[in-house]
Amino acid sequence: MPAFPANLYLLAVIGAAFLSGASLPLWRAWCRRTGHVDDPGHRKIHSVPVPLAGGFAVFTGLAGVLLGGWLLVAVGALPPDAIERLAHGLARRGVQLGALLAGAAGMLLLGWWDDRAELAASVKFGGQLLIALGVAAAGVRVTLFVPNVAFSYAVTVLWILTVTNALNFNDNMNGLCAGLGAIAAAGFAVFAARHDQYLVAAFGFVVLGSLLGYLPYNYPRASVFLGDAGSHLVGYLLATLAMLPHFYSERRGLTDRREVLVPLLVLIVPLVDLAQVTLVRTLNRKPFWIGDTNHLSHRLVRLGLSKPAAVAVLWIAAAAAATVACR
């Protein structure tokens, strides 16, 4: 069977980036009009309110391309080989992809609510838990070679909660969360494409494009922020994207069980940051969910780097890890 046309992957990236970037000024204006902004104060360095429009733009790029791709398949507007493969994949995993998109909308709305009302940690955690359970119920689950449904649900929920909050914690400097998200999405997409997992690869490239469309508005200087809506969305997308590829499959020639550790390496920067700030806050007898300036990015700045340079260093570390993982 001929290879899946790579130009469609490129189209997914470009289309998502275009929709995300083109919609962002509209979302920014809406945020200003409705007062959905990040006000100066506390540990924040900006002196004027900044619209929290990033998450909405990223979701626009994601949903627009996914729904547009589904429509193109339905009307037969793609190459025949691509239509056959995508139609087969959607028939097998269409319900799962629909559940993932619904979960993405749920995380976006949960984060928006938190941005507006500063939810108690228990309420926010409860919302994340419900969304993670919904994803697991749709059949997107981690097994780790243990044939037990309860175990699979528990590991899946723990993974989604961990990665979602790791990226939320890393939304502490311009470009950091979105940049780490784009690098990880690219890593998972390339891995899936190399192993002919075309539907997963296409999803990963759409996530990549959606984040690339947003980044110029946020790095190195920011006219918009992701907000909790955006950081929740990015973390959720990476958590679920990490569960979609087959890292071990004899049918696909993936016979090394150690490959299931690939997601940990791809996401090593935000996961290490989450682990170390949680440890520091616990040792200092502070709630681990209360922000401080002990993140990896802050430590690099204290070593003398500028903030854009600190972010770039963490991007490079993440890209190197993803390259090794998805070789």
Q: What confidence tens digit (pLDDT) does each residue in 99-145 have? A: 999 999 999 999 999 999 989 999 999 999 999 999 999 988 888 77
Residue 99, domain member (yes or no) = yes
Residue 193, domain member (yes or no) = yes
Cis check: omega of the bond before 220, within 30 degrees of 0? yes
Residue 210, domain member (yes or no) = yes
Residue 287 per-residue DSSP state: -
Residue 90, domain member (yes or no) = yes
Residue closest to 180 by CA, chosen among 322, 324, 14, 318: 318
Domain range for residue 187?
Answer: 6-255
Identify the pLDDT of residue 309. 97
Angle at CA of residue 320, ends 101 and 65, nearest 5°: 25
Q: How far apart are CA 211 and CA 205, in angstroms?
A: 10
Residue 284, domain member (yes or no) = no
Residue 136, domain member (yes or no) = yes
User: How many domains are contained in the chain?
Assistant: 1
Burial level of 217, CB count in 10 A (0-12/13-18/19+)?
A: buried
Q: How many residues does the chain have?
A: 327
Q: Which residues contact 306 (CB under 8 A, 6 or more apart)?
A: none
Q: Which of 42-46, 84-88, 110-114, 243-247 is predicted with the least confidence, judged by mean pLDDT?
A: 42-46
Q: Which residues contact 31 (CB under 8 A, 6 or more apart)?
A: 37, 51, 52, 53, 56, 224
Q: Which residues contact 217 (CB under 8 A, 6 or more apart)?
A: 21, 24, 28, 54, 57, 223, 224
**Pairing relation of β-strands 37-38 and 50-51?**
antiparallel
Q: How far apart are CA 93 and CA 200, in angstroms?
A: 10
Burial level of 101, CB count in 10 A (0-12/13-18/19+)?
A: middle
The pLDDT-based confidence of 71 (bands split at 50, 70, 90) is: confident
**What are 281-295's pLDDT values in tens digits?**
999 888 888 888 899
Tell me the HSE value of 202 on the side-chain side, using a 13 A CA sphere: 25
Bigger pLDDT: 247 vs 13: 13
Residue 70, domain member (yes or no) = yes
Residue 187, domain member (yes or no) = yes
Q: Which of 136-145, 182-191, 209-218 is predicted with the least confidence, judged by mean pLDDT?
A: 136-145
Residue 139 per-residue DSSP state: T
Q: Which of 138-147, 158-167, 255-264 is predicted with the least confidence, judged by mean pLDDT?
A: 255-264
Six token digits for residue 284: 């200092």
Please give the C-alpha separations between residue 226 and each of 55, 58, 76, in angstroms, as whole numbers: 5, 9, 36
Bigger pLDDT: 244 vs 184: 184
Single-letter amino acid, residue 120: A
